[in-house]
Structure 1
Amino acid sequence: MVDMSNNALSTVEAQIREQAAAYCASNHVPGFVAGVYHAGEQVIVAHGTANLATGTPMLADTGFLFGSVTKVLTTTLVLQQAERGVLDLHAPVVRYLPEFTLGDTILVRHLISHTNGIDADLFFPDAKGRDALTAYVSGLADSCGTLFEPGEQLSYSNGGMIVAGRLLEVVTGLPFPELLKRELYTPVGMTDSCTSAEEAILRSTAVGHFLDPETMAARPTGMFTLPDTWGPAGGTPIGTIADLLAFGRTHLAGGVSPSGARVLSAESTALMQQVAFDMDTPNTPPMGLGWVRYPFGDTTVLAMSGASPGGVSILCVLPEHDLVFTAFGNNSGAIMLHDQILRWLLGKHLGVQVPALVTELEQDVDLTPYVGTYRSNQLRVEVSVVDGQLEERTTYEPADASQERIFTEFAGGTTAAPPRRLVPVRPGLFAPAGHPLETFDGYLRLLLVSYHDVRDGRARFRNGGGRLTRRV
């Protein structure tokens, strides 16, 4: 039986503090903050520096960009409007957005289950203010297409969430930032959350950092947030660990916030947690609505991670164990620390048996079905066979100077990836060469690469990090 006493949370706090100090020191992560809620108690641990330019320390109440964790908030807002009869999850998006021109078979539920096929993962229109999301939807018609028929595949979709944000503006009459504050921040009790850099600067807020590839010295990002057009996908919302713990606890409690406010019905909360689509491949866990459902043995971890310029966040909710874990590190390498802590919480704190995801590599796999060129929005992946392994060469192909500027700043100046080799786990599933197999047991199963829909001896899709590229 797991000890749920204060002493158990003290052990959790000490463990996170120890892991954070060791990892940040050896991997050049300036600062880290994390929190755990379990069975009525919670702890928050902060370590290091929030901004190397100012020397500001990372504190328990330091704010940070949520990144794509925002997608679960956006989905919650959509479910709220569905409950109120303002939105029909099974209706075509064009019923509410006639200007949406990517097809009348994309349904509202496709937007929040990542099954819409919108090919806009790197589409960054630079618009600000009240009309930012209007500009985004308008730009889709000229700049983006679709990767697959709605409901046919699963591909992590920034574009779907942003269209959902614009849809919310239309049916409520409120700008997305105002809706987020009124319908989530306030009733959940996210008292230190905001939606802009102008608001964030009024309190302690962390910034992301990038590592110099030669000196390995960390430098603060030159771009704090993505454009306003990316708000619903995670570009602009900012808050604290306590705020995300409160949001996670709301989903633990069937839609009731820690203060007792009803934010979402129990039925809608459960619907978000149910399987909406399953690719049946280890590197892409089953998708709910908003939540990704990571299986760890018999335990399901509802999770979403979020990248921001030079930073990475995570939110995990474990309904079977009444636990929420959330964290932020101000260098992208902190995702490894997130994974370490999550696996410690599961294995040591909760006693969950986590089986190995990949136990061995298969030899003699025919590699020819996977060779070819795969494309998605502004991204090209060339796959060939070299020395009996797959080799991938990924090229960023910016649509215009504005897109190149924003993505380059988001990536810290480096947009070119070196070639990498993949070794077969089994037909259609590959692991990056040189990684210990236990690397993929946790959240980092996303590093595996899969190929799908083989027809006439050729795969139609490549899946890396949950995102599809299509053979051309």
Structure 2
Amino acid sequence: MNNNDSALHVVGAQIRDQAAAYCESQSVPGVVAGVYHAGEQIVVAHGTANVATGAPMREDTGFLFGSVTKVLTTTLVLQQVDRGLLDLEAPVAHYLPEFALTAPGAAAKILVRHLVSHTNGIDADLFFPDARGRDALKTYVDGLAGSCGALFEAGERLSYSNGGMIVAGRLLEVVTGLPFPDLLARDVFGPVGMTDSSTSAEQAILRSTAVGHFPDPVTMAARPTGMFMLPDTWGPAGGTPIGTVADLLAFGRTHLAGGVSPAGTRVLAPASTALMQQTAYDMATPNVPPMGLGWVRYPFGDTTVLAMSGASPGGVSILCVVPEHDLVFTAFGNTPGAIVLHDQLLQGLLRDLLGVEIPALVTAPASDVDLSPYVGTYRSNQLRIDVSAVDGQLEERMTYEPADESQERIFTAFAGGATSAPPQRYVPVGPGLFAPAGYPWETFDGYLRLLLVSYHDGVDGRARFRNGGGRLARRA
């Protein structure tokens, strides 16, 4: 094809066919996806937004952003840095004197930068206090002091942090005087041109909005979620923002254009936009890409994809920006398994549209690996992982240990009722690196490299940390 419009037309047809086949084979009710490339964009929708009503998935159907919101929250933080209201190198407690953790002195060492680079160490990944309204984020921060500790000292390691983003949201409220939803609407939704975005179910119900689904444990058919969105306490981490593919394409294009929206509005300073895209911390392990501020920097050969995915109750979204090739890709599917389709679509765009060569990340199992350094029990907030050696592989058993009835109720609804899973075997594939048994090696070449598990910081012949999905758990 000689012109980009024709190339994108072909891409749109391919996405439509691929989405239809995947939805049919994997019982995904619906998918909506969009691509912007070099001045043109397409949006493709397929299937059903809600099986209870039969409402179709349309190109303008809204959906929960999930953790894609973290890049929006980080953008808000950098805006306040541009305006002189925040200093990335200042302690969080300078702005939030009440900020504390159960680990003595840990909170005092956390800087603003650590919140948005996932290097804060706050052990609160499953902390779900149930509060709504104007004081929800204050309630969250107040609750940390009596409920959550630290996985590591701030700045020493990287662990994907819902808690850090929520504290950042409260920080924004304090320095601007605005509730987080109002600030997001004023300083991101408005200037970016995200005209169909909101943060409440009351607003979302006024337009076409998708709901999540989970596979029925008996029939495996998709059934609608019993909880549309998480409490307001999780807003800055992704619990409440809702919008469309067109909205996320506009946001991605803003970061492609050095902080200028498609309508020409300056949203973020060029230096701050660039800072978000630079490496802030690198774990130097294949399963955890380097982290910027808000963005995760996925290497696909020599090409870097700035990305963030987001889980919502029964749904999953993704936003990817490829600065080297002037491309934005975003998608939503209304079952958790749709992330596999998103990964396939992303790799197809890189290979077929952009000509990017994607090297194999894992090619063969490792032999004669001593498994004893990894055996033991690892813990993070309300989660225990028991690791044993069985037949030359690691076997992991995860146990959810709820802190109270309220958090158990919320997490159970978020997970679709299933808070336990059968043991998972892992095959050694490199030093301290393991792949889930039974998966084809090519599974891990793209976004799903997060399925790999790594172990770190050996002391006295034993690993101190387990990393799965970018999240650390510490040896008990």
Same fold per superposition (TM over 0.5): yes
Counterpart for residue 37 of structure 1: 36
Given the alignment, which residue of 395, 402, 405 partners 2:399? 395
Name the % identity.
80
> For residues 2 and 403 of structure 2, what CA distance do their matches in structure 1 show?
55
Counterpart for residue 7 of structure 2: 8
Opposite residue 31 of structure 1, the aligned amino acid is G
User: What pairs with 1:38-53 in structure 2 (closer than 5 Å)?
Assistant: 38-53=37-52
Deviation at 1:101, TM superposition (A): 1.0
**Distance change (3 Å), C-alpha of 1:4 and 1:324:** farther
Which segment drifts farther, 2-11 or 61-70?
2-11
**Structure 1: unaligned runs, 5 residues or longer:** none
Residues 123-151 of structure 1: per-residue CA shift (max 9 Å, x gap)? 00000000000000000001100000001
CA contact (8 A) 1:390 1:423 kept: yes
CA contact (8 A) 1:4 1:38 kept: no
**Structure 2: unaligned runs, 5 residues or longer:** 102-106
Deviation at 1:3, TM superposition (A): 5.0
> For residues 364 and 336 of structure 2, what CA distance do their matches in structure 1 show?
29
Residues 99-137 of structure 1: per-residue CA shift (max 9 Å, x gap)? 001321100000000000000000000000000000000
Residues 280-314 of structure 1: per-residue CA shift (max 9 Å, x gap)? 00110000000000000010000000000000000
Counterpart for residue 239 of structure 1: 243
1:265 equivalent in alignment to 2:269: yes
CA contact (8 A) 1:4 1:39 kept: no
User: What pairs with 1:150-161 in structure 2 (closer than 5 Å)?
Assistant: 150-161=154-165
User: What pairs with 1:408-423 in structure 2 (closer than 5 Å)?
Assistant: 408-423=412-427
Counterpart for residue 111 of structure 1: 115
> For residues 322 and 236 of structure 1, what CA distance do their matches in structure 2 show?
29
Deviation at 1:213, TM superposition (A): 2.3
Counterpart for residue 345 of structure 1: 349
> For residues 206 and 176 of structure 1, what CA distance do their matches in structure 2 show?
23
Which segment drifts farther, 212-221 or 69-78?
212-221
Deviation at 1:4, TM superposition (A): 4.8
> For residues 92 and 420 of structure 1, what CA distance do their matches in structure 2 show?
40
Opposite residue 314 of structure 1, the aligned amino acid is I
Given the alignment, which residue of 131, 141, 160 partners 2:135? 131
Residues 321-367 of structure 1: per-residue CA shift (max 9 Å, x gap)? 00000000000000000000000000111100111111221110110
1:313 equivalent in alignment to 2:317: yes
Given the alignment, which residue of 228, 234, 237 partners 2:232? 228
Counterpart for residue 65 of structure 2: 66
Match of 1:470, SS state, is strand
Match of 1:26, SS state, is helix
> For residues 438 and 133 of structure 2, what CA distance do their matches in structure 1 show?
46
Counterpart for residue 148 of structure 1: 152
> For residues 202 and 27 of structure 2, what CA distance do their matches in structure 1 show?
28
Backbone CA RMSD of aligned residues: 0.7
> For residues 349 and 370 of structure 2, what CA distance do their matches in structure 1 show?
39
1:204 equivalent in alignment to 2:208: yes
> For residues 370 and 327 of structure 1, what CA distance do their matches in structure 2 show?
36
> For residues 359 and 188 of structure 2, what CA distance do their matches in structure 1 show?
37
Counterpart for residue 104 of structure 2: none
Opposite residue 46 of structure 2, the aligned amino acid is H
Counterpart for residue 252 of structure 1: 256
Opposite residue 17 of structure 1, the aligned amino acid is R
Counterpart for residue 374 of structure 2: 370
Match of 1:80, SS state, is helix
> For residues 49 and 227 of structure 1, what CA distance do their matches in structure 2 show?
25
TM-score normalised according to structure 1 size: 0.99
Counterpart for residue 188 of structure 1: 192
Which segment drifts farther, 272-281 or 212-221?
212-221
> For residues 155 and 29 of structure 1, what CA distance do their matches in structure 2 show?
30
Opposite residue 8 of structure 1, the aligned amino acid is A
Counterpart for residue 21 of structure 1: 20
In the TM superposition, structure 1's runs of 4+ consecutive aligned residues that sit over 3 Å from their partners are: none
> For residues 328 and 407 of structure 1, what CA distance do their matches in structure 2 show?
21
Given the alignment, which residue of 355, 358, 366 partners 2:359? 355
Deviation at 1:427, TM superposition (A): 2.1
